[in-house]
Structure formats: C-alpha cells, structure tokens
Amino acid sequence: MFTTLHLAIIAPFFIAIVVPILYKYFPRTHTGWFVLFVPILLFLYFLRFIPETSNGNTYHAVFDWIPSLGIQFTAYVDGLGLLFALLITGIGSLVVLYSIYYLSKEQEALNRFYVFLLMFMGAMLGVVLSDNLLVLYVFWEVTSISSFLLISYWYERDKSRYGAMKSLLITVVGGFAMLVGFILLYQMTGTFSIQTMIQSVDDFTEHALFLPTMLCILLGAFTKSAQFPFHIWLPDAMEAPTPVSAYLHSATMVKAGIYLVARLSPIFAISGEWLWLVAGFGITTLFWGSFNAVRQTDLKGILAFSTVSQLGMILSMLGVGALALHFDGIDNNVYIGATAAALFHLMNHATFKGSLFMMVGIVDHETGTRDIRRLGGLMTIMPITFTIAVIGSFSMAGLPPFNGFLSKEMFFTAMVDVASFQQFNMDTFGVLFPVVAWVASVFTFIYSMMLVFKTFGGKLQLGQLEKKPHEAPFGMLLSPIILISLVIVFGFFPNILAYTVIEPAMASILPSLLRNGEHFLVDIYFWHGWTVELFMTMGVVLIGTVLYLTLRKWKSIYSLFPKHLSFNHLYDTTITRGESLSAKVTGMYMTGSVKHYLIYILTFFSIFLLYVLFSTDAFALNTDHLAPISMYEWLLAIVLALSAIAIMFAKNRLATLIILGVSGYSVALFFVTLRAPDLALTQLVIETVSVVMFLLGFYHLPEIAENFKKARFQVKNFIISFLVGFTVTVIGISASSTRLFESIADFFPKASYDEAGGNNMVNVILVDFRGFDTLFEILVLTIASIGIFVVIKLRLNEKEER
C-alpha cells in the first residue's frame, strides 16, 4: 500500500518535474523560494517520528513495486534511518536557503540546479529509508547520477566536467561491486529485506560467500564515502557550486557509504575481517586526508581533504564499535561508546563542515578568490564571516567548548581502548590506532588554523583580490549562522542529540546487544578528569601550534612525494590509456562501412544460433502435422526463388525494381493460397507503395557505378548469405516441428467470437488480444510521421547549411 512515507521519499522527484515550469512562468522570483518549502516540510514530517524511535519503535510501509519478482518498496524508519533523514532534509533546507542568495537568478540556470538538487535529495531519502536492497541500489545509483549533474553544473568549465566524470566513474564502479554483494547476500539468505537478514544472521555467517559478499559491499561503501585510496574524486568534485559542496560533501552523498556500513553492521560486524577493513581503512583515510589538507592552498581544497579525513574518522569508530558484538549485553562494554561517538560526530561534522563550506563560498563570492596566498586581513572587513570560520574551524580541530571537542574526545577513547582488545591481533597491531589518530589530529589542528588565520589574519592584499571585499548580505549569512549556533548548542547540551537520535540509531546498529526492554544510555559531558584522552588533546594543541607557526620551514616535505606515484596520476593514466586502447579497438571494427557492419552482425548471428541449435539438440524435423503442398504453391516457390536469385544479376535499377516486385507479389499470392486475405492485402499495399516510392526516387538517385555493374561473384558474400539463409530455415523448421505447449489454434477462433464479440479473428487479435501492442505500433508510426513532417518543413538558412 502506498503511504505518506513513500510519498515523502518521492516528493522531491515530483516537485523536480514542476521546477522548470515555475522557472519559466515566474522569472522575477528566485526559483529557490518555491523549492525551499520541500525540505522544510519533509524535515517537519520526519521530526514527528522522534518520539516513536526514542521508545524503540519502528515504522515500515510496504508497496508492491514489482510483484512478479517479489520486489517491494519497503520504507523503513528506525533510529538510524531517521537520523540520516533529518540530516538530509535539515541541511537541505539550509542549503536551499543559502543558494537563493548565492546563485543569481539572472546569471544561473536555476531550473537545472534545483531539478538536480531535488533529484539528489529524493535519492538520498530513498537510500536511507529503504529496507529492500534492490530498491536501495536503485536510489544509490540515482545519487551518483544526480551528483554528477550537480558537480558538472558549470559544464562549460573543463575542471567541472573532469570532476563530475571522475566522481561518476569511481562511485558507479563501486556501486556495481555493491550490487554484486547484494545479489550474493540474496543467494545466502533468500531475501532482499535487510531486517529479515538481521533477524536470521546466525544462519549464514559461516557461509562460503560471506567474505566475498562483505568485500563487494564494502567496496561500494568505500568509493561512495571517499575512503583511501578511492578518495581522489572528492577534491575534484569541489568544482561544483558551493551550495552543492556544502550539501553533498558535508551531510549527504559522502555519508551514504557511512550509512551503508552502519546499516549492515549487524550482519557483518561479528567478523574480524570487518573490524580490520572498516577500522583500518578508516584510520588510514583519517591520516592521509588530514596530511594532504595541509598542503592545499585553495580553501575548498582544504575542506575537501578535511572531509576525507573526517569521514575516515567516523568510519574507524564504526569499525571499532563492532567489537561490542563480541560481548554479551551492554553492561561494562566500553566499545559501545565508539558507535555513539561515530553517530555523534556524524551530526557534528554536518554542522561545522556545512557552515565552513558556506563560509568559504561567502569569501569566494565577496573577494573573487579562494586562494589563501592571496587572502588575509578580512577579520575586520567581514567580522560575521570570521566568527563563523572561528567556531566551525575550532570545532573541527576538536577544541572546547564546541561539539567537535566532545566527539573527538570520544574518538580518542575508542582508539585507546581498541589497543587492548584481545582478539584479532588487536593487542599487537592495535597500538597503531591511537598513534595514527593522534598524529592525524595534529594535522587536523593545523589545517583548521590555516582556514581561519590564513584567510582572516595577516595583512589585507587588495591588489590580489578580484573584488573589493565586504560583508555578505544577511540572507547569505543566515544558514551558516544557524549551523554555527547548532555547533555551540550541541557542544553545551550534547544530550539533546543523545536521547533523541543517537540512542535509537545505536539500537539499529547493535540490536543483538539489547535484551527485552533494554535501551542504550548515552551521557555526553565535558569533564572526565585528567584522562589519557585529555592529555592527547593537550598534546595536539601544543604540537599543532608549534607546527603551524613553523609551517613554512617544514612544508617543503610535500615536494618529496613524486606526482607520478600519486593515485590521481594512476587514475589519469588509466583513463588516458584506456581511451587510447578503446579508440584503437573501436577503429578496427567501426570502419564506417555498412557492408562490414552487416558482415559482423550476420556472421555472429548465424554461427552463434547454429551452435546453440545443434549443441543443445534443439533441431527437429517433423512433417506429420504438415498439409500437402499443392502445385500452385510449388510454382510460387519456384518463382520466388528464381526472382531472389535474379536480383543478384540485375545491372540496372529498373530491372532490380521489377524483380523485387515479383518477389513481393509472389509472397502476397502465397497468402492468398493460404487463405489469409488480410495479410495478402497488406502485402500488396506495401509492395505497391514501395514500387511507387522507388519510382519517385529514381530521379534523385545517382547512376550505378561501372565497377558495380562489373562486380564479380564473391565467395565470402555467398558463404555469409548461405549461412544466414540456412540458419533462418533451420530455425523455422525446428520451431514448426517442435511442440512444447498445447497449440492455441483453437483458442482464438472461439475466444474472438465468444469473448470479444467479433467475427474477424485477425481484427479481434489486433484490437483486443494485443491491443497495447497495436497502440504502441501506432504511436511509433505517429512519432516517425512527425519526424518526417519536421524534416520536410525544416528550412535551413545559409549559415546553418555551412
């Protein structure tokens, strides 16, 4: 049954259809004002689920999408799905509001922008609220397509097209691998329902396909969430407009991979491979992203690699949180805190990173550049934007009293605890986790300080700026101000999130730990005493400050990394060589000759079908059910065969046309002898019209070339022609001689009169039994007729003809 929940998921798609109409008929009004109500209403709609999910309840609605295949569009709302739905719609509302002031209605094609944005929003809602894996995959790929369109919004720029194609190729390849994993998961469980799989997880954890399935699914998640080494698409995706970056890369698209890992943790997290892959790739991505962010000189580039780093941080906590499943119950289980930290930082990252993206957009909008080498001294000119930058950057660096400090402390706790875990060799190699986490946090502190002080500190360089800087209008500041306010509120009152969204989401990720009536208790607060985590934070601030102040002296270490050994170079080389190879291979068979194409098609057609026919013993010859052949039919067959042979020896078009007409009219006479007057009439009409059309076209056709008139017999053409004729003949004989089902010869005569009330069986079949087929045939003819009419009426001017 189709419910309001289904409607909420697909509502953005419906509104996207209306956007071009609104853009056309309301040109004086920014289209964003019409779009803004969509995410706001959806956000308010999903807020009403909080009381239910907080009490441990879930809501699901089933709609039979493809009943014949047993595929249902099951919309499922639990704590985890609701958390992401609120992020998607909440941040989406602020992004749309920001874009109204950021994108000019006079200079930008807003109809395209908001169509793509709504497509993406609806697809993300479908991903996080679908219980059926196939439906989830469909929405997953729509996010890839819509993000490709958003990143390439300024398609006239080479970098925009390059970044869009790069993101599409990497994420779609991962998506295909994920689809394979979903199919393997279905082979193990017999269902596509995630919740059904979770309930029966003990039945297939020892299956031989368990590990390959996990690897395929994680490949899809890692490519989507820009994990090392698939992170290379995200920095290039920053060529999109800033509202797109703020939405896709802080709260939505890159979080889809995080969601998939969290959603499928109850299925795979019991294995040691899951721990090492998820936590290992996460902590590696954390370090590599933060390390490379420091070398960037573009503000968006810094934020891009910081996003990569923060995503790795969240993923590593989800991996460590899986260790909780190796204990019975929730009592004294320290690893549960890692999952809580991951969810908390997920929310925190959306708030401070979204505000920072908007801040960078404001700086770019008001100064004309994002290059920190040309910026500086904007603190007094843009005080509100500076305040946004300070709060957002300090929260990202993990400094008190902001929300990023709390989740970063919880992250340190998880990394310290994992080093003492006694299974999966964590007590040996696990010591690397807190070390790498601390080093990465030092680099996080450095690039966070760069965002603030390289942009707003120092001297103002008016000569380096394309515009005279000034504070942004209030409308553009409103969205980042709201996000920055949430950074402060969630910092001082973190348990607002703990009780409403974090605890229910944890119940979705770690359901096996809860006994009857239990629920997770998350209590987040600032002071935990003089702990190891606090000393690690103090070390981060101290060492980070020293390294930031001496940045010029040691930044040259980045030049030691050869460019030809980078993952970007590997990607570019692979694409370039792949294009070159494909061009050579394509050039071998795409010769531009219709003759060559027919040779390929007909040869493959004949050889493949003959092989299948005889290798499977499908050939059959049975003449028992055939009627005797009359003298007239023998005569027509001889005439038809002779006319077909004679065509090959015709030396002018008139003779060819006459012989071709003989063949066509012979076929019509066959229909007459077989008592099929309707078919005979149709054949006669077609032949007559064809002859007339050929005659009308004679005047415009060139003379037949002399080399064609002198053409000799070619053995190759004869063999191909013989193979095709032989193949079709053999298939026809086999089809006529094989009876797999009871004949329907008696059905149509009876049903035509008794059920359809018609005396002409052929007409009844065309209109009633296959009415839709006939309708679409008429539609195709209508489209072709319109196309012909347009071509005839088209008048090209002299400039267009050239």
Average pLDDT over residues 713-732: 86
**Beta carbons within 10 angstroms of residue 153's beta carbon:** 21
The verdict on residue 766 lying in a domain is yes
Q: Cis peptide leading into 51, omega within 30 of 0?
A: no
Helices then strands, counting H and E runs in the chain, come out as 36, 2
Give residue 85's pLDDT: 95
Distance of CA 420 to the CA centre of its chain: 39
Which of 21, 36, 24 has the alpha carbon at shortest distance from 100?
A: 36
One domain for residues 735 and 751 = no
Give dist(CA 589, CA 447) in Å, integer.
53
Token readout for 579 is: 């294009």
One domain for residues 228 and 365 = yes
Find the helix packing angle between 653-673 and 677-697, rounded to 10°: 170
Give dist(CA 35, CA 95) in Å, integer.
11
Give residue 566's pLDDT: 82
Give dist(CA 262, CA 282) in Å, integer.
13
Residue with tokens 């090959």: 648
Give dist(CA 111, CA 766) in Å, integer.
43
- Considering the entire predicted model, what is its pTM? 0.81
User: Which of these three, 664, 688, 709, is where a domain ends?
Assistant: 709
Beta carbons within 8 Å of 486's beta carbon, 6+ residues apart: 351, 403
The verdict on residue 580 lying in a domain is no
Average pLDDT over residues 488-517: 89
pLDDT digit string (tens) for 276-294? Answer: 999 999 999 999 999 999 9
One domain for residues 512 and 651 = no
The verdict on residue 476 lying in a domain is yes
Decide: 59 and 52 in contact? Cβ < 8 Å. yes
Domain count, the chain: 4
**80-111 exposure pattern, b = at least 16 Cβ within 10 A, e = fewer:** bbbbbbbbbbbbbbbbbbbbbbbbebeebebb
One domain for residues 162 and 278 = yes
Average pLDDT over residues 669-682: 83
The verdict on residue 560 lying in a domain is no
Give dist(CA 20, CA 318) in Å, integer.
41
One domain for residues 150 and 203 = yes
**Beta carbons within 10 angstroms of residue 377's beta carbon:** 15
User: Which of these three, 519, 549, 579, is where a domain ends?
Assistant: 549
pLDDT digit string (tens) for 589-618? Answer: 888 888 889 889 999 989 999 998 888 888
One domain for residues 668 and 726 = no
SS3 of residue 518 by DSSP? coil
Average pLDDT over residues 86-97: 95
Decide: 93 and 40 in contact? Cβ < 8 Å. yes
pLDDT digit string (tens) for 370-422? Answer: 999 999 899 999 999 999 999 999 999 999 999 999 999 999 999 998 887 77
Token readout for 335 is: 């690893």
Torsion of CA 463, 464, 469, 472, to 10 degrees: 170
Distance of CA 323 to the CA centre of its chain: 31
Q: Which of 321-330, 618-627, 657-666 has the highest mean pLDDT?
A: 657-666
Domain limits for position 613: 591-620+717-740
Decide: 120 and 143 in contact? Cβ < 8 Å. yes
Give dist(CA 29, CA 118) in Å, integer.
18
Decide: 490 and 348 in contact? Cβ < 8 Å. yes
Torsion of CA 626, 628, 633, 638, to 10 degrees: 90
Average pLDDT over residues 456-481: 89
Average pLDDT over residues 140-157: 93
The mean predicted confidence, pLDDT, of the chain is 88
Give residue 193's pLDDT: 92
Instruction: From residue 748, give the alpha-carbon distance in Å to each of 157, 680, 752, 754, 755.
Output: 62, 20, 6, 10, 10
Instruction: From residue 70, give the alpha-carbon distance in Å to each of 128, 141, 190, 253, 389.
Output: 21, 21, 11, 29, 51
One domain for residues 299 and 164 = yes
The verdict on residue 571 lying in a domain is no
One domain for residues 610 and 633 = no
Give residue 332's pLDDT: 55
pLDDT digit string (tens) for 523-546? Answer: 888 887 888 999 999 999 999 999
Token readout for 752 is: 């035509």
Of the two residues 197 and 106, the one the predictor is more confident about is: 197
Instruction: From residue 112, give the alpha-carbon distance in Å to each of 23, 105, 126, 152, 244.
Output: 10, 12, 21, 11, 13
Residue 329 has pLDDT above 90, yes or no: no
User: Which of these three, 725, 740, 755, is where a domain ends?
Assistant: 740
Beta carbons within 8 Å of 73's beta carbon, 6+ residues apart: 6, 62, 63, 64, 65, 130, 132, 135
Q: Name the phi and psi angles at 467, rounded to 5.
A: -130, 160
Give residue 722's pLDDT: 87
Strand partners, 298: 371
pLDDT interval class at 715 (50, 70, 90)? confident
Decide: 161 and 152 in contact? Cβ < 8 Å. yes
Helix, strand, coil share of the chain (percent; to 5) = 75, 0, 25
Give dist(CA 761, CA 754) in Å, integer.
11
Distance of CA 529 to the CA centre of its chain: 46
Torsion of CA 726, 727, 733, 738, to 10 degrees: 160
Give residue 802's pLDDT: 45
Torsion of CA 34, 35, 40, 43, to 10 degrees: 150
Give residue 797's pLDDT: 46
The verdict on residue 572 lying in a domain is no
Q: Which of 383-392, 528-537, 676-685, 783-792 has the highest mean pLDDT?
A: 383-392
One domain for residues 690 and 728 = no
Terminal Cα-to-Cα distance of the chain (whole angstroms): 58
Residue 261 has pLDDT above 90, yes or no: yes
* Max Cα-Cα span within the chain: 109
Give dist(CA 173, CA 176) in Å, integer.
5
Decide: 254 and 225 in contact? Cβ < 8 Å. yes
The verdict on residue 575 lying in a domain is no
Residue 796 has pLDDT above 70, yes or no: no
pLDDT digit string (tens) for 750-778? Answer: 788 778 777 787 788 878 887 888 888 88
**Beta carbons within 10 angstroms of residue 126's beta carbon:** 23
The verdict on residue 458 lying in a domain is yes
Ranges 50-54, 307-311, 703-707: which has the least confidence: 703-707
Beta carbons within 8 Å of 545's beta carbon, 6+ residues apart: 445, 449
Give dist(CA 391, CA 362) in Å, integer.
16
One domain for residues 771 and 736 = no
Give dist(CA 580, CA 571) in Å, integer.
14
Token readout for 597 is: 């194409």
Average pLDDT over residues 566-595: 88
Of the two residues 33 and 427, the one the predictor is more confident about is: 33
Cα angle for residues 191, 194, 195 (degrees, 5° grid): 105
One domain for residues 729 and 793 = no
SS3 of residue 141 by DSSP? helix
Residue 213 has pLDDT above 60, yes or no: yes
Instruction: From residue 430, give the alpha-carbon distance in Å to each of 278, 279, 427, 505, 788.
Output: 13, 10, 5, 27, 71
One domain for residues 315 and 413 = yes
